[in-house]
Structure formats: structure tokens, C-alpha cells
Structure 1
């Protein structure tokens, strides 16, 4: 017969909650009681069940994973996949499992179901990924009592934090690098207009262009949706009439790879005719032809930070906060210019 936590408690003459606290290394238990309980556990070979731990600690050890926004980035998105892998490993070491919430609704009019589902499954916290804007479903969860951490989506709730790359610096680093290498005719392919990431990167682009006195050609400012096909179509619009830009900065590597295909189809050479810079440093950048210059986001660090920030919120060890991670410019063949000392 398999022992339960109540059996151990009865043998030790204590409550099941006390046994659970001892197993989870809680303070406030006498050394004598701890030793008595641990000796019984060791001698009987007792292994606590998940439900017993959950009942006694009031925690499920489950973290909800939500892909927010109208554009479903899916599990195989090259940027977020690396962030999630880092997050998963980190919370796994801390004893947590991940429950993925589907955003495919049977009833399309239901837009407020994340919070009820999070409460139904008793998740200890939620990780919210991406998104163009904070939809009502995300807003309700963000403003609830459930700890949440957003990656690349700003959260403002009483139990919410967020972590992101410093996206103003992302754009500033690209424009500064091109400026230092005498490139002035610069086009820009943004993500969706209502995306928080796009807004900040676009602000950074315009700010840096103005800082260095580089004229902005409105025909060279185009919008995509962070995916390859949209980058291809945006680049085709830029190339619809002359003059052509000398460089193109795309706000994601996927859009940059699409733009690369459009430039080649137009009979132009990279980087001799048009230099190209992306953003994210996904794996495909190293294998494109030419290899893509990009701005690296530290995806492993973003995942780890999100994990520790969420666990701290769950355990009540911190106040909500926002953390920005510095980007790094990765010079490869598509830019056609060498890295120089940046301005200080």
C-alpha cells in the first residue's frame, strides 16, 4: 500500500501541512520536529505525490504560457522559440511545469477567457509572449491577482513585470553604424503599426535619423508584420521607383530575409547595390546568402530573466518591475561595411 502525506503526519504526530512545510524547507518548524519527520520519510521511503504537494502548499507548480496578439507567432517562431526554451529550462530546475494556453477559440466572440482559464487550472503565474497590443483578454489577466511576466509586451498590472530588449537602442545602433560608414540613403521596414515593439523601434529609427541629420524618404518607410512574406512585399514597394536606397533596415530578421529575396529578384546585388540589416539574430542569419547583418537580442538571457522575475513574483519576493536588455550589432556580409568604433 502506497503511503500518503497523511500517513507520514500520523506517524509523526503532526499535521499534513507541517509535513509539507518540512519537505519544502519552510521556516518556522522546530529542528526536533524536522528531524522526526525526515527520519520517518527516510525510513519508509515515502515519495510525495504532486497532488499532495499542491494541496499542502496551495501551489500547483504550473505556469501558464500565452501567445498573445492577433498574429499567432506559434511555437516554432525562431525568436520566441529560443526565449521559451531558456524559460522552460530555468523554471524546470525550480520544479515548475508549463501549461500552454490555446488562443484558438471555439467561440470567436469569447475574448475574455485567459483569466478564467488561469484560475480554473490554478496556475501559479503566467508568461505572456509577443502581441501587437494588449487585447482585452490579456488586459484582464494582467490586472488580476495572478503574477504575470511579459516578454516584448509591456504589462502594467499590480502583479505583473515585463522584460524586453532595449528596442530604441536596437534602431539607434543600426543607424549609428551606417552613419559611421558613410551610408545616408536608408530605408526602413517596420513591423505592424500597433505592435509595442514596432512603435519603439520606429521611434528609435526616426530619432537616430534626426540625430545624425539623415534625410528621411517617406517612400522608403514601409510596414510588414514581422514575417518573411511581408518583408518581401515591403521591399518590392520600395523598389517600385527610383532612386533606390543604399541600405535597408528591417525590424525583424524574417522580414529582412524576405527583403533579401526581393532585392535579388530585382537584379540588384547585396551588399554592393543595397546593404541590408535585420534584427533578432535568428539561426537563419548565419546561413543566408549573403549572411545577414543583424542586431542580436540575447534570447537566452531574456528567457532566464523572465523565469526568475516570474518566480520572484509568485513567491512574493519582489515588486513588479520592467527590465531592458542591451542589444548587440552582429556584422556579417549583407551590410558590406566593417565595424568601427561607435560614438560615445
Structure 2
């Protein structure tokens, strides 16, 4: 491979993971933290020492740096992996702004690999923007690839490529294990990604909607023994950004749009059910709002590219505060949770948080609600 020159734009969990993977393979990798003016050189030994962004930031090792525009101008491959934190209509503006910043200094014969979900046709917009910013023609003077990253344990099988053009160096950089990556047309990779996202959310929506109609305790008990009760709010929100990006691809109503909107409404309906369950728990236990504390236990990855889990936690916190003043979010269940003079209702938003709560629970003055399809209550 001769040490391909790679720049990863965005010190996100996904960006750092892929940067480490390539550095260990012998590539000459620089990673750009958008909040600093320099690109950081990422050597194989650093990639092996620091497994994630948090460990790298905590230790702050001395690393070689160079100005961002210099690093980008030397890049053969630029991976676009920024952290997106705007919401609603502002998402597109934030992405376009960062994409311009990332690509302005690129030179002829370089390649851009776009790793955020682009919905249907979103890559055409990116290609037009890339040509406008660089003055280079995609397919002739500069290359463009689509590789939507989400689950780091299961990277995409396909690399979307302008005109389906193959690149053996890129395939080598991205291959993990023995299975080689396959190049397909960009529109094909958009469709593959859409099928994956919609398959997951259609299945999830079915479970959530059926569970909304469970009223009696016998059915609740029987269903709670099933594997799908291991689905927590954290799992439900994974990929919601991708689903919404598909939704913004269409102007008019069609069957696909009904599927997308139905899945988004399924999540909204679940949040409403969770809030109703919390309120009814107060009533059933004769708890006064002023003497009750709600603790949302959700350990989040603050460095993920997508900000939808962070947004959902803020949304849930503010909606609960309409009913109860004392609502706090906790990253890791700590001792403060278990030593309150109020009755505490802990909402476990992920499997790992639930397991930690069960391990550390000492106080009887605690009610735990699992944020799973049935909203199971443990007293």
C-alpha cells in the first residue's frame, strides 16, 4: 500500500475507529478535530494504545501536528466523519458547511469518502458541492465514494462509487477480515443502506405498536420473558438520523414515505407511553411530585457522529419536567442516585445502564423502569 496519505475530517467515534484501522494497516493518517486549527498525526502505536476518542482526549499524548489546509492538500483520501449536533432543518446547513471546510483544499486526483447517511439523491448534492468548491470534475479529476458508517462492528459491505469505479487501495484500507469490499454505483449503495435502515425500523415499529396495546399483567409477564425486551431506548434511537435523512429525500407522499413516517411516529408514540408509565407509577404509589426524583440513566457516547441520542435525552428530560421538577440525566449510575431523601424513579435507557443499576442498587426507596417496549417496572 506504500503508506497511502489519508485525512479523516472529524474526531468522532466512527472517524477515529476507521482512522485507527487504517493507521494499523500502515497508512499515513491525519485526523482533524474540527474544534482545533491543526490536523493530528495518528501513528499505529497511538491507535493501538488509545482504543477510543475519550481515552485519547483524557491522556492528551504529544502528537505531531500540521495545519488543516496543508494536511488536506496532501491527502489522497479524505474521509468525512464530522460530529453533527444541529437538529431539524439546520442539520443540512451544518453538514454542507463542514463539507465545504473539509474539501476546499483538496487537490487533483484525490478521493472523498462520505460516511454520513445521505438518503436518496443526497450524494448528487454532495458531488455538485464538491465540484463547486474544488473546481474539479468528479469522475475525472477527483473521486467520490459513499460509505455510511454506523455500527462499527458491522461496517458496510459495499462502497458506493461514482460510475461504480473501483479503487483497490481504498478497498484494502477499508477491508477488515478476509471478506473484500465490493464497489457498486452510488445509487445502489443508497438503496442498500435504505433497505437496512427500513428493515430494522419496520421490525422495531411492529414490536413497539403491539406492546402499546398490552394492558393486563399476565400478557405483560409472558411478553417480558421474550428477547425483544432487551431492546432499550438506546437501541431504538440508533439509526433514527438515517431514517430521517431518508424521509427528507421525498417531497410528496408515497408508500415508502408512509413506512418512514410510521417508524418515526412509532418512536414518538413510545416516548409518550414511557412518560405516561412514569406518571402512572407516581399515582399507583401515591407519590407526590415534590417528593419524587426522576433519574434518567443513559450512558451516551458524546463523540458519535449522530446527535440524535443526545437530542432525545434533552427532549425526554424537558418533557418530564412539565410534570416533575426534579429530573436529572446521569451518564453512569453513581452513589448520588441511591442516597436521596426523595423517592427516586430511575429510568434505565440502555442495557448497560440497567445492569449497572441492578449491581449498585442498595436503597429500597427506588423504583426502576426499564425503557424497553413494555416499560417494565421493578420495585
TM-score (norm 2): 0.29
TM-score (norm 1): 0.31
The answer to which structure has the higher helix fraction is: 2
Bigger-Rg structure (1/2): 1
